[in-house]
Chain A
Amino acid sequence: MTFSSPYFWLFLISTLALHHLTPERWRWLLLLGASYLFYWWQAPYLPLVLAAITAISYLCGIGMLNTDSGFRRGSLFWGGVSSCILLLALLKYGSAGLLPGTSALQTMVTIGVSYYTFQALSYLIDIRLGLLPPEQHLGYYALSLAFFPKLLQGPIERGNDLLPQLRTGKPFDYLAVRSGLLLVAWGLFQKVVIADRLGMYVDTVYNNLHAYQGLPLLVATYGYAGQIYFDFAGYTSMAIGSARLFGINLTANFNQPYLATSIADFWRRWHISFSRWILDYIFKPLQLGWRDWGATGTALALLITFVVSGLWHGASWNFVIWGMLHGIYMACSVWYRPWQKKLHNWLGVSKKPLLKLWQIGITFQLVCLAWVFFRANSLDDALYVLQHLWPLQTEPLQGLLMIKGDRELYITTLLLGGLMTTVLFPSLKHGIHTLFTGRWRWAAYYLLVLIILVCGIFHQGAFLYGRF
């Protein structure tokens, strides 16, 4: 049951109706039950994994609260952290067939496990650092990990952000429900209209690479940049919108990442909850520990952080190289940055608007170069793409986009126009409906629904980031 399936909408509406019929003090129980049911629907054994991670982190957190012994606190912390990581590694890499003796796990679905395990780890680390008091109510804590809108693909929430919201009941708020529904519709548009249609072209090329060279490879790579953004941003809009129906505000995960002016800026705008996580819990401890090494220590910390980020996405050379490329970009910027301002002043371009456009363009190309490794089915495929991008053979537009007939051409043109406007105009980042106010807003709502129904692709289903 994915967010783009009609079963999910039925589930969402039923849960919302029951939520508002349930007395405030028992709403956490209803949401917890609904979340476990939603997770059971993905695969019947998954709620057991969720319950195990919940139990480990909750008991270790409470244990740290109830002891004055530094040794015991440390043992509980390290015991909790290592148990969560071991369970995650066993399921993630065992299901991928990468661990010896785990053949029984190879057919397992592990959707969502990485996300709530990272949330549980941040909970334990924040308690250890004294930044968060342990949650004593097991129900609220279990719900903070299981809450179904963010269970499968995040955002990876922090205890300080989510737990206080779960403790306080929210009365029915028409404006919150309306904006939640609009976000769900906007996310659905991004997923089924834009991402899945781009995906048809990208998959055709990337799953049969040796039939192509030149421009189709380039267009497919840029197409994948669009597909992965709209797929994940679409999911996130639907997650944030669904949570808002229940009066819960989730963390924003995207802020127009392809308008970033540097790779560091890109990571402040892309998968924000994940990049905050790796920054706070991997990069900062390494960087501060190696601060006596100066720029070399920071560069090394960046490289290791991004390799770990690659491994989180999957244990394959493609993901390692994707992470390593981002680590190398960031490490180079550590040495380049002190000279950047001087270079711009020397060239006389520091206040020129074209400088920003240049930086956005270069950053986008670097990100797309790394996406080649992320998308390709193997390392050989990724190298094939890079070796056969040039020369750029030109083909007629219809042949290039592999579309037949006028209807598909119109739809594709409309989609690319929509894609460009949503990427480029800051006011549109929350949806096309924000263009219209007053009496015209209903025209925008109908237009959005019409485009979804006419242009949407409803048989693709799965979200790309669900497999991480």
Chain B
Amino acid sequence: MTHRDQLNTIFQMVFDDDSIQIHEAMTANDVDGWDSLSHVNLICAVEHHFNIRFNQPELLVLRNVGDLLHAIGTKLEQVA
């Protein structure tokens, strides 16, 4: 299962919607219920699932799903 597939499952779980199919350009405007309050739940779920920890500047520059996937990849490389 690729990081993208795993992230898709996390999105479906956090936003309680099995029909979500993520793509790189997807932003909060494209997902029903993705606002600043649910965003933190998404980040916590990602960190827990991949066993990583983002710092604040890394989180503040995320603009879309592509940025989040890139950040996950970079973090996992650092851990490995």
Q: Do B40 and A334 have beta carbons less than 8 Å apart?
A: no
Interchain CB contact (< 8 A) of A285 among B35, B43, B44, B56: B56
CA distance A161 to B49 in the complex (A): 36
Say whether A264 contacts B40, CB under 8 Å. Answer: no
Residues of A within 8 A of B40 (CB): 287-288, 291, 297-298
* Contacting pair A129 B61 (CB below 8 A): yes
How many residue pairs link A and B with beta carbons under 8 A? The number is 32
In the bound complex, CA of A131 to CA of B58 (Å): 11
B35, B37, B43, B59 — most chain A CB neighbours (10 Å): B37
Q: How far is the CA of A199 from the CA of B52 in the complex (A)?
A: 55
Contact: B36 with A284, CB < 8 Å?
yes
Q: CB-CB < 8 A to A297: which residues of B?
A: 40
User: In the complex, A280→B60 CA distance in Å?
Assistant: 8
Contact A129 B37, CB 8 Å, known A288-B43, A291-B43, A291-B44: no
Q: 6 smallest A-B Cβ distances: which pairs? A: A288-B59, A291-B40, A129-B61, A287-B40, A291-B44, A129-B60
B37 partner residues in chain A, CB cutoff 8 A: 264, 298, 333-334, 337
Measured CB to CB, the nearest residue on chain A to B36 is A279
Within 8 A of A (CB), among B9-59: 35-37, 40, 43-44, 56-57, 59
Q: Which residues of A contact B56 (CB under 8 A)?
A: 285, 288-289
Interface residue tally on A, bucketed by range: 10 to 19
> What is the bound-complex CA distance between A291 and B37, given in angstroms?
11
Number of interface residues of B (CB under 8 A): 11
Q: Give Cα A285 to B56, complex, Å.
A: 7
Query: What chain A residues lie within 8 Å of B57 (beta carbons)?
Result: 129
Q: Would B61 and A130 count as touching, CB distance under 8 A?
A: yes
A283 at the interface (CB under 8 A from B): yes
Q: Considering only CB atoms, which chain A residue lies closest to B35 in the complex?
A: A264
- Please determine whether A131 and B61 come into contact, CB atoms closer than 8 angstroms: yes
Closest-by-CB residue of A relative to B60 is: A129
**Chain A window 257-289, contacts with chain B (Cβ cutoff 8 Å), 1 for yes, 0 for no:** 000000010000000000000011001110111
Q: A130-B61, A288-B56 are in contact. List 15 more A-B contacts (CB 8 A).
A: A129-B60, A129-B61, A264-B35, A279-B36, A280-B60, A284-B59, A287-B36, A287-B40, A288-B60, A289-B56, A291-B40, A291-B44, A297-B40, A333-B37, A334-B37
**Min CB distance, B54 to chain A, in Å?**
8
B-contact 0/1 string along A427-453, CB 8 Å cutoff? 000000000000000000000000000
Alpha-carbon gap, A354 to B36, bound state (A): 27
Shortest distance between the CB of B46 and any CB in chain A (Å): 11
- In the bound assembly, the distance between CA atoms of A279 and B35 in angstroms comes to 11
A288: B residues at CB distance < 8 A = 40, 43, 56, 59-60
Looking at A131, A287, A333, A334, which has the most chain B CB atoms within 10 Å of its CB? A287
Measured CA separation A285–B59 after assembly (Å):
9
Interface centre among B36, B43, B56, B59 (most CB of A within 10 A): B36
- Compute how far the CA of A291 lies from the CA of B60 in the bound complex, rounded to whole angstroms: 13
Distance (Å) between the CB of A167 and the closest chain B CB?
Answer: 22
Bound-state CA distance A334–B43 (Å) is 16
Give bound CA distance, A298 to B43, whole Å: 13
Q: List 21 A-B contacts (CB under 8 A).
A: A129-B57, A130-B61, A279-B36, A280-B60, A284-B36, A284-B59, A284-B60, A285-B60, A287-B40, A288-B40, A288-B43, A288-B59, A288-B60, A289-B56, A291-B40, A297-B40, A298-B37, A298-B40, A333-B37, A334-B37, A337-B37
Interface string of A119-146 (1 = CB under 8 A from B): 0000000000111000000000000000
